[in-house]
Each structure stands twice: as C-alpha cells, then as structure tokens.
Structure 1
C-alpha cells in the first residue's frame, strides 16, 4: 500500500504574463490559467482523491477549486505551501529588482545557496517549511491519494529535497510549467518520483 501525492503549480496568472514577481502577493488567474486548471481537472477526473490541499494564495486556491471538479471535498488551505516570500521584490519586474539590488539579484540566480536578503525568504527556510508540510500531509493521509496545489520555487525546493539535489543547483532545471503534474509515491517511508512536471493534459 502506498500514499500518492499529486503535486501541481497554480495556473497562469496576470502577473505571470506581465513578468512581475508574485511571492506572497497575488494576482488572479488569466483565462488561459483557468483553462489550464480545467485541463488538470479532466486529467484527474478518474483518480479517487481523499483530500485537496492548497497554498493560501488565491491563485492556488482558485486552481484547486477548479481542479477538484465535481468532488465533494473542501480545499484545505495551508500557509506553509505558499511560494517563497520575495519581500520588497514583489510586484516588480526582474529588471527593476536587478537595478535596485544588483549584487543580491546576481547571487539569487548564480549562487542561490549563498543568497541572503533582509526582506526575501531564504531558500532553506522555504524548503524546510515545504518538507514539514508535506510530511504532515503524508502522516494525515496514509495509503490515500492527495492533490497539493503550490508554487514554482516552493515545488522546486521540495523536489530537490526528495531527489537530494543541493540548493546551489536549484536553477539547473527549467521553470515548472503551470498546472504541470508531479506524482510522488510514498511506501514504507521511501519516496519515489513516478513522473515529474508532466504536461500531457495541456496538449489537447
């Protein structure tokens, strides 16, 4: 018997299209983001889910509500599933942040394991809270299927933990597509990645 975690990133948002950093701030799903969440719902329609968890950010909650389809389940909102807090960088473009904090911006992208900023949450802190949240969910739902809606960097850091990738390599893989699906199987306290950042439901 195994526990199966279906992990996804929220659908495309207005700020995604404007290339503004969101973090703990928020913007609504675009029409395309709503379509992506609906396509995810179709992909999941034949899977028996025991619970649906979401980051407390509205873009994740909206994605989760669409993805749950006709299921009579309440979306459980969990602060620890939120994206990294970008602090003073939120709501601004990459170009703006690079101009205002050139050294810190360079470290963020080129040496993330060394990154420090007074207002931006550390990668390690995000990873620790994500792992803690996921372990609590696993404990709460033994041998069940659970959908978890979270965010790009938060999900990257979680998968890096399970795959034993060092923090310095967080940017070695491409950005996670909106509503892509990752399946994590937990059996006898062992974690196996069945598939990762899969987007076949978006191809139709």
Structure 2
C-alpha cells in the first residue's frame, strides 16, 4: 500500500520579502508568512480533512515555525531536509547570484543542486520506511523541494511560500510519484 508525503514550503520570511538568498542562514517569518501558514492549515489540510501520522521539519527556524502554525502534533527536526547552502551568496540579493548557480555554488562554499536533491531524497525515503507511518507532513524549503523533485525525475514548478506537494511513496519500489501541487494563493 502506498504512503502519503505532504511536502510543504515554509511561509514568507524577511529575506523572501527583500528578495534575498537565504540558504542555510535564517530570517524570521513575516506576518504574511504566518498568514500563509494558517491559510494552508485551514484551506488545504482542514478542508480536505488530512491528518498525518508523523510531522517533520527542517532544522531551520522558518520551517519549524511554519509547522507549528499548521499542526499541534509533535514533530522531529531533520538536517536532511534543510535548505541547500548558497555559500558566500547567502544574504545577497537574488539578482546578484550567477545564472549558473546550480553548478557553480561549490566554488563559493555552497552545495550543488543535485547534492541537495539526493540528500532530501535519501532522508525522505528513510522517513517513509518507518513502520506504522502511512502519512507524513514535512516542512522544508523552496530550492530543496525543487531539487528533491528533480532527483525523483519530476519537473517541479517554482513553489509559492506554504505550497504543498502531495506525493505517493511506493514501499515496494521506493519511488515517489507526484499526485498534486497545491499552490498557496497568498503571495
């Protein structure tokens, strides 16, 4: 029987609002980010009556703060689903990052896009293998989620803050498949 993964991006942060690269550095959720999280809770999870057996978050505060607004269930924080590192570019305006960032970041102390995707895939596969877990809510980050979906041979769109990718995981094959992407309309 397939298991469900609800992979959610965190709410808007101060750096998102300023159009800055965050990566592994952190900035707090804005009021809009908190509103986005509550909107997702009410209009995605509650309206669809989705309940999960397990909740996990990136170790970064913006993700755990988002998760705490979406659910009251206990959760674990996992380094394996944190945002990818942008090295020296963290804190810079997004428009100043080179166009070849997906492959050039290691030259500046960052992480390859493909490495972030493989890290996410490995971590989420281990989470899905847990016995007595049929559905998981995981809160992560925009680039890390796109890298994960790319590592799973999917063509991901850009994720709005607090959007959710609903995936099926087949325990027989270990393959993730995308059921739906729900984009939070609060931009």
TM range (shorter): 0.7 to 0.9
| TM-score of the superposed pair, with normalisation by structure 1 | 0.81
Residue 66 of structure 2: aligned partner: 63
Q: Residues of 2 paired with 1:58 and 1:136: CA distance?
A: 22
State whether structure 2 residue 145 is matched by structure 1 residue 144: no
The answer on whether the counterparts of 1:4 and 1:143 sit within 8 Å (CA) in structure 2 is: no
- Report the TM-score, using the length of structure 2 for normalisation: 0.88
Q: Deviations over 1:138-190 (max 9, x none)?
A: 1115651110100011000111122256xxxxxxx642111111111123324
Aligned match of 1:106: 99
Match of 1:52 in 2: 55
Shift, 1:115, TM fit:
5.6
Secondary structure at the aligned position of 1:106 is classed as: coil
CA distance in 2, matches of 1:89, 1:134: 27
Is the 8 Å Cα contact of residues 2 and 168 (structure 2) preserved in structure 1?
yes
Question: Structure 1: which 5+ residue stretches go unaligned?
Answer: 99-104, 166-172
Query: Displacement of 1:93 after TM fit?
Result: 1.1
| Structure 1: 4+ residue segments shifted above 3 A | 112-116
Report the alpha carbon displacement of residue 136 of structure 1 after superposing the two structures with TM. Answer: 0.6
Which residue is 1:2 aligned to? 2
Contact 1:2 1:143 (C-alpha < 8 Å) held by counterparts: no
Structure 2: 5+ residue stretches without partners: none
Q: Is the 8 A contact 2:54 2:133 kept in 1?
A: no
1:1-204 to 2 correspondence within 5 Å?
1-42=1-42, 43-45=44-46, 46-68=49-71, 71=72, 73-95=73-95, 97-98=96-97, 105-108=98-101, 112-113=102-103, 116-141=106-131, 144-163=134-153, 174-187=157-170, 188-189=172-173, 190-196=175-181, 198-199=182-183, 202=185
What is the aligned residue count? 181
- Write the deviation string for residues 11-39 of structure 1: whole angstroms up to 9, x where unpaired: 11111010111111111111111011001
Q: d(CA) in 2 for partners of 1:115 and 1:32?
A: 30
Q: Which has the higher helix share?
A: 1
Q: What CA RMSD, in Å, does the superposition of the two structures yield over aligned residues?
A: 2.0
Q: Give the Cα–Cα distance (whole angstroms) in 2 for the partners of residues 60 and 122 of structure 1.
A: 21
Computing the radius of gyration over CA atoms, which structure comes out larger, 1 or 2? 1
Q: How far off is 1:116 after superposition?
A: 4.0
Task: Summarize the Cα distance change of 1:76–1:85 in structure 2 as closer, same or farther, 3 Å threshold.
Answer: same
Rounded Cα–Cα distance in structure 1 between residues aligned with 2:176 and 2:33:
30
